[in-house]
Each structure stands twice: as structure tokens, then as C-alpha cells.
Amino acid sequence: MSKPSDGRLHILPQSQIDAWLAAGHFHTVTISTTDPRVQALGLLRRYSRQEQLHHLYILSDPVTEPDRSGLRR
């Protein structure tokens, strides 16, 4: 298996990963502070615990939002 030119191994489509990030699917996320998805997907609002280590955000504990029935998911 050869390494992709961008250095990332793509197992899932990027669109699926982005949708899961935006939905708070992951308990913990590590992402570069300069990654445009931090702002575009509202990740700092999506996770209640936020740490910064050098050039990385470590985000955890996704914030749950009420569903349309008014019940928390």
C-alpha cells in the first residue's frame, strides 16, 4: 500500500468525516488549530472540553442538542 501524496490515509470519504465532525459523532477530536474545518464546522462550539497543545486542539465531550421533540439525545 502506498502512502497518499498528502500524507493522510483515506479510509472514509472526507465528506463523511466532516459530517461526523459537525454532528459531534466523535468523543475526542485532535485537529490542527489552522485547519479551516474548526471554524467551518463550528467545532469549538460542538465540544465542551477544549485544550490547546502547541498547534493542535484536543476537543472532547461533544455537546448534545435537544432533538425536535424537545428530548435530549
CA torsion sign for 13, 54, 23, 28 is: positive
56 DSSP β-pair partners:
32, 53
Residue 41 clears pLDDT 60, i.e. is over it: yes
- What mean pLDDT comes out for the span 23-28? 92
* Domain residue ranges of the chain, discontinuous segments joined by +: 27-62
46 pLDDT above the threshold of 80: yes
Q: Is the pLDDT of residue 13 over 60?
A: yes
CA 4, 35, 30: angle at the middle one, nearest 5?
Answer: 80
> How many CB atoms within 10 Å of residue 42?
13
Q: Which amino acid, 12?
A: L
pLDDT in the model for residue 60: 96
Indicate whether 52 pLDDT > 90.
yes
